[in-house]
Amino acid sequence: MDVYSNAKRILERVAEASFRAGRAEPAVLVAASKMNGYEALREAYRAGVRLFGENRVQELLAKDSLGAYEGAEKHFIGHLQKNKVKDVAGRVDLIQSVDSPELIDLISARAEHQRILIEVNIASEPQKSGVLPEELPELAARAAEKPGILLEGLMAIPPQNANVAETCRYFEKMHNLFIDIGAKKYDNVTMTILSMGMSRDFEEAIAAGANMVRVGVGIFGERDYGQPHKIL
């Protein structure tokens, strides 16, 4: 497994897909680095990756204390438990997975300038993280009025079992929500980031309007869930 060449190749594919979609700027690549340790992250950094996303708070803090993200942004992209807000608010560059009024209130109480995205459960799947599409305007309005929070966009993970055509429809639905919420022009809301697309579908996501993609396996190789998460 060669993280350096994988990351180079993914960065190229992101740039090509963005160019094909007529963008002035390439979409931003977030390396989803869960379960991968310091050395793999530094290889990705050496290849040009400048943002990392983690979905477990303890793992993020452990790698951060080793300097694994040095020079790069760190994003929290996983399900955020209320009792862990104190560990991430004000300590990460972007929380991509805010999905409840309670989380907004807790982050607001803890941070001075916390950039966030709202995670949308775009297919309204039962038991999945993310706010339902119909609840999004209310949540965005709440984020807009709370101090300490800057709502910069939306994030989504379409259903795992959807085929490419279905996934593309969800991406398009997300893009429409992104445009609709942006048009409301709330204070403290920029709606500049649309984070969607992973290893298997980031090019389709970019074609549908994503300007941030989150890629794990395509950079770091398959994850072995039987092993403890690497830190080093």
Ligand X SMILES: *Cc1c(COP(=O)(O)O)cnc(C)c1O
List of residues contacting ligand X (CB under 6 A): 32, 34, 55, 77-78, 157, 198-199, 214-218
Nearer to ligand X, 37 or 216 (CB): 216
Are residues 175 and 135 in contact, defined by beta-carbon separation less than 8 angstroms?
no
Rounded to a whole number of angstroms, the minimum distance from the CB of residue 32 to ligand X is 4
Which residues contact residue 204 at a Cβ distance below 8 angstroms, ignoring those fewer than 6 apart?
164, 167, 168, 171, 197
* 138, containing H or E segment: helix 136-145
Rounded to a whole number of angstroms, the minimum distance from the CB of residue 207 to ligand X is 17
Rounded to a whole number of angstroms, the minimum distance from the CB of residue 73 to ligand X is 15
Are residues 224 and 190 in contact, defined by beta-carbon separation less than 8 angstroms?
no
Nearer to ligand X, 18 or 55 (CB): 55
Nearer to ligand X, 18 or 97 (CB): 97
Residue nearest to ligand X (CB): 216
For residue 154, list its beta bridge partners.
118, 194
Rounded to a whole number of angstroms, the minimum distance from the CB of residue 13 to ligand X is 13
Whole-number Å distance between alpha carbons of 142 and 162: 31
For 95, half-sphere exposure in the C-beta direction (CA atoms, 13 angstrom radius) is 34
Token pair belonging to 119: 């995670």
Rounded to a whole number of angstroms, the minimum distance from the CB of residue 183 to ligand X is 27
Nearer to ligand X, 123 or 144 (CB): 123
Nearer to ligand X, 41 or 144 (CB): 41
